[in-house]
């Protein structure tokens, strides 16, 4: 009986898909589509650069959003649910993304706000100290604490995307983590994914490789310092480890380390992207 119940628990936690509903994979642009001159002047531009710091290869997608454009999110199979997953590249190609990174893997947890493309999907708090990433409809980004807002309040204030992972790395241009702040109890170098807001529709999506002989990985503090060096006003840590993947122009540009050694993509719940 114990073996059977334990097997069921593991299957329910890691395998059985639970679909709660389908969602939109994009936010409607506020730009006028019939004005070609305006459309040209408001197109989003992206460029991926590679850095090496702390014995780690770091990929930075430098993004200038066109007017009326926002960072968007997409869910695996356009479905909100538990254990509904796909690779970052598959989700990205399904929405014609130019650049994409993995999101917060909301499906691995039962709590924490989830708002995607202006749709409230989960309103249960992960905890009073939980810091969430908020991407607003005016193109700005901020980091809030769940104890200060309900998910509905964030939606009413104009939140297009709310991701619940964290912590915030840089808040109001100041590094907001210390050497003792880690996700769960991951106290050492790991692959990382982060998003940073520099200002005036200028964002960076960052992925650091890790767990390989070529690239050690970053601690949260090292990641925060790197983001701070990119002159971001706000920066937020997303799901890392084997999930950390960057997709650009039709291919995966980093070396995701599923199971710690094999270079292959892990299936995830969601992505952040631009197109």
Q: Can residue 11 be called a binding residue for another protein (CB under 8 A)?
A: no
Q: Can residue 14 be called a binding residue for another protein (CB under 8 A)?
A: yes
Given 190, 201, 245, 265, the residue binding another protein (CB under 8 A) = 190
Given 9, 30, 32, 41, the residue binding another protein (CB under 8 A) = 9
CB 96 within 8 A of CB 46: no
Residues 17-76 that bind another protein (CB under 8 A): none
- For residue 21, how far is the Cα from the chain centroid? 21
Given 21, 158, 250, 260, the residue binding another protein (CB under 8 A) = 260
Tell whether omega for the bond before 167 is within 30 degrees of 0, i.e. cis.
yes
User: What is the smallest separation between the CB atom of 81 and another protein, expressed in angstroms?
Assistant: 14
Please say which residue, 2 or 37, places its beta carbon nearer to another protein: 2
Q: Can residue 127 be called a binding residue for another protein (CB under 8 A)?
A: no
Lookup result for tokens 């909301």: 106
Phi-psi category of residue 139: left, alpha or beta, with phi > 0 → left and psi -120 to 50 → alpha: left
Lookup result for tokens 């970052």: 88
Return d(Cα 78, Cα 65) in angstroms, integer: 23
72: nearest Cα among 106, 98, 39: 98
Residues 191-230 that bind another protein (CB under 8 A): 211
Please say which residue, 139 or 217, places its beta carbon nearer to another protein: 217
Beta carbons within 8 Å of 141's beta carbon, 6+ residues apart: 71, 133, 134, 135, 195, 197, 203, 234, 236
User: What is the smallest separation between the CB atom of 6 and another protein, expressed in angstroms?
Assistant: 5
Q: Can residue 188 be called a binding residue for another protein (CB under 8 A)?
A: yes
User: What is the smallest separation between the CB atom of 14 and another protein, expressed in angstroms?
Assistant: 7
Residues that bind another protein in the complex, under the rule CB under 8 A = 2, 5-6, 8-10, 12-14, 105, 108-111, 183-188, 190, 211, 239, 241, 260
């Amino acid at each position: 009986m114990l073996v059977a119940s334990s097997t069921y628990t593991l299957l329910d936690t890691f395998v059985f898909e639970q679909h709660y509903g389908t969602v939109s994979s994009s936010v409607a642009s506020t730009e006028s589509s019939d004005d070609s001159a305006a459309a040209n002047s408001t197109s989003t531009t992206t460029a991926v650069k590679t850095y090496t710091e702390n014995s780690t290869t770091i990929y930075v997608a430098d993004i200038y959003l066109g007017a009326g454009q926002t960072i968007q999110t997409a869910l695996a199979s356009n479905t909100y649910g538990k254990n509904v997953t796909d690779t970052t590249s598959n989700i990205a190609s399904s929405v014609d993304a130019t650049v994409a990174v993995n999101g917060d893997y909301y499906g691995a947890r039962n709590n924490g706000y989830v708002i995607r493309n202006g749709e409230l999907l989960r309103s249960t708090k992960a905890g009073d100290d939980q810091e969430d990433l908020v991407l607003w409809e005016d193109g700005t980004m901020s980091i809030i604490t769940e104890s200060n807002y309900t998910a509905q309040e964030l939606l009413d204030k104009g939140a297009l995307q709310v991701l619940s992972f964290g912590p915030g790395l840089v808040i109001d241009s100041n590094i907001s983590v210390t050497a003792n702040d880690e996700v769960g109890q991951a106290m050492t170098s790991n692959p990382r994914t982060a998003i940073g807001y520099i200002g005036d529709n200028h964002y960076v999506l960052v992925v650091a490789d890790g767990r390989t002989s070529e690239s050690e990985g970053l601690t949260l503090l090292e990641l925060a310092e790197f983001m701070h060096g990119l002159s971001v006003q706000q920066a937020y840590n997303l799901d890392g480890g084997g999930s950390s993947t960057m997709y650009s122009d039709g291919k995966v540009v980093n070396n995701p380390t599923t199971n710690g050694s094999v270079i292959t993509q892990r299936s995830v719940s969601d992505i952040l992207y631009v197109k």
